[in-house]
């Protein structure tokens, strides 16, 4: 169905993006260059309105949904890049909730940050998303919108990249009134003295085996950060309410898991016990901590678990808050990703390949920051 040009313009203006400009000519894009513009779309294929999904919740205006479905290809926050990007916004059928589902947990890892792009150890350094990272959040929002997920309460870390991801998701899904809780216990793993260092240069300085041990070991932390460093969280006022003894100087994955679990038990479990749908927008390693606990994953297996960016992971929990295994789950997880298997595999491979490029050697999951 053809859409009048003026209507397309009006729809574009409804999308909550930054620095949006409607242009009518092709914009050249060089490698890893992301342009915050939207190319005008001459026609949109409408999806039939699906007013209610398995959970019985109203869907949003299908005109805007149709626009969102094509924008990741024509570009929402960016026009694109020379490296291939996964089209995760493809329409996915609404899944029926299991009959014994008591609560829903949605886990979402933030997209590319400025320091990810620069190949720097990030950890607790508070850097923002790149345009690509915003795109990934928008794609995640679109798939959640298609699934008809209505969020009751959301949780995120004290780091901008996770907060931006959550903000984009709530805006695009028209759920900006959802209560949001921010807590330092959901922060990424603290990379200690490696924070801010270039990854390839760190390998050259300390050797591949040593850096691999810091990254891939479950219980070996990197060197501690100096408390005089501008990257030590104790020098940041947003951590002034935390006992200095609790602010880490460096963390291994084991430390991150142990840091996250008290917040899970004290803040998220009560909401889930009330049957709420909970969204957690966080980081690769803090999400690993929650998954290790939920699915009882071994120390060895959790370090190699790839958490792709921008793909929501859904868990239905029973009245005892035990995961209900999904037929679409991919071991060792029992929840399901809002992506088809091909797209999921491609996303996980992309995460691993990025590690290889950043370190100049074989990648691992536990380096995701």
Structure confidence at residue 360 as a pLDDT band (50, 70, 90): low
Tokens 């984009």 — which residue?
Answer: 168
Q: What is the pTM of this model?
A: 0.75
Domain assignment of residue 71, given as a range? 1-83
The CATH number of residue 231's host domain is 3.40.50.1240
pLDDT for position 215 = 87
Closest CA to 108 of 302, 274, 325, 347: 347
Last residue of a domain, one of 83, 110, 136: 83
Regarding whether 329 and 187 lie in a shared domain, the answer is: yes
pLDDT for position 343 = 75
| Residue 315, Ramachandran bin (φ over 0: left; ψ between -120 and 50: alpha; else beta) | beta
| Residues 6 or more apart in contact with residue 236 via CB below 8 angstroms | 126
Question: Active site residue: 102, 110, 283, 316, which one?
Answer: 110
pLDDT for position 349 = 74
Torsion from C-alpha of 180, 183, 189, 193, nearest 10 degrees: 130
Positive or negative, the CA dihedral 190, 191, 193, 195 is negative
Read off φ and ψ for residue 7, nearest 5 degrees: -70, -40
Model confidence pLDDT, tens digit, residues 109-135: 999 999 999 999 999 999 999 999 999
Q: Check if 110 is active-site.
A: yes
Model confidence pLDDT, tens digit, residues 10-26: 333 344 433 333 333 33
- Inform me whether the pLDDT recorded for 62 exceeds 50: no
Model confidence pLDDT, tens digit, residues 254-310: 999 999 999 999 999 999 999 999 999 999 999 999 999 999 999 999 999 999 999
What is the total count of domains within the chain?
2
Summary mean pLDDT of the chain: 78
Regarding whether 229 and 343 lie in a shared domain, the answer is: yes
Structure confidence at residue 170 as a pLDDT band (50, 70, 90): very high
Q: Residues 168, 18: contact at Cβ < 8 Å?
A: no
Model confidence pLDDT, tens digit, residues 213-254: 998 899 999 999 999 999 999 999 999 999 999 999 999 999
Question: Active site residue: 147, 188, 251, 306, which one?
Answer: 188
pLDDT for position 95 = 81
- The share of the chain scoring above pLDDT 90, in percent, equals 63
Asked if residue 94 belongs to a domain, the reply is no
Asked if residue 88 belongs to a domain, the reply is no
Q: Check if 117 is active-site.
A: no
- The share of the chain scoring above pLDDT 70, in percent, equals 69
pLDDT for position 341 = 78
Structure confidence at residue 336 as a pLDDT band (50, 70, 90): very high
Regarding whether 111 and 63 lie in a shared domain, the answer is: no
Of 88 and 96, the one with more pLDDT: 96
């Amino acid at each position: 169905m053809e859409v009048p040009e003026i209507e397309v313009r009006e729809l574009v203006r409804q999308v909550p993006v930054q620095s949006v400009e409607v242009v009518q000519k092709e914009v050249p894009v060089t490698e890893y260059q992301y342009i915050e513009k939207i190319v005008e779309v001459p026609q949109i294929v409408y999806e039939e309105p699906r007013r209610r999904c398995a959970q019985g919740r109203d869907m949003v205006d299908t005109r805007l949904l149709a626009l969102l479905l094509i924008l990741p290809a024509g570009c929402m926050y960016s026009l694109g890049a020379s490296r291939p990007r996964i089209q995760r916004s493809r329409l996915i059928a609404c899944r029926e909730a299991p009959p014994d589902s008591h609560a829903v947990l949605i886990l979402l890892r933030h997209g590319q940050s400025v320091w990810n792009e620069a190949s720097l150890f990030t950890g607790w350094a508070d850097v923002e998303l790149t345009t690509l990272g915003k795109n990934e959040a928008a794609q995640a929002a679109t798939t959640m919108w298609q699934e008809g997920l209505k969020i009751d309460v959301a949780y995120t870390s004290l780091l901008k990249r996770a907060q931006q991801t959550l903000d984009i998701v709530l805006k695009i899904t028209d759920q900006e009134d959802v209560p949001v809780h921010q807590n330092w216990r959901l922060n990424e793993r603290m990379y200690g003295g490696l924070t801010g260092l270039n990854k390839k240069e760190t390998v050259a300085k300390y050797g591949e085996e040593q850096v691999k041990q810091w990254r891939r070991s479950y219980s070996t932390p990197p060197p501690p950060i100096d408390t005089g460093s501008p990257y030590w969280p104790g020098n940041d006022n947003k951590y002034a309410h935390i006992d200095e003894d609790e602010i880490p100087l460096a963390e291994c994955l084991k430390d991150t898991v142990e840091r996250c679990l008290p917040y899970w038990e004290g803040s998220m479990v009560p909401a889930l016990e009330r049957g709420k749908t909970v969204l957690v927008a966080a980081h690769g390693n803090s999400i690993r901590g929650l998954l290790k606990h939920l699915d009882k994953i071994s120390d060895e297996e959790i370090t190699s678990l790839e958490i792709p960016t921008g793909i929501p992971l859904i868990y239905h929990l029973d009245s005892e808050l035990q995961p209900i295994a999904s037929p679409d789950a991919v071991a060792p997880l029992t929840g399901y990703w809002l992506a088809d298997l091909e797209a999921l595999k491609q996303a996980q491979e992309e995460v691993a390949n990025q590690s290889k490029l950043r370190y100049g050697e074989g990648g691992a999951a536990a380096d995701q920051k």
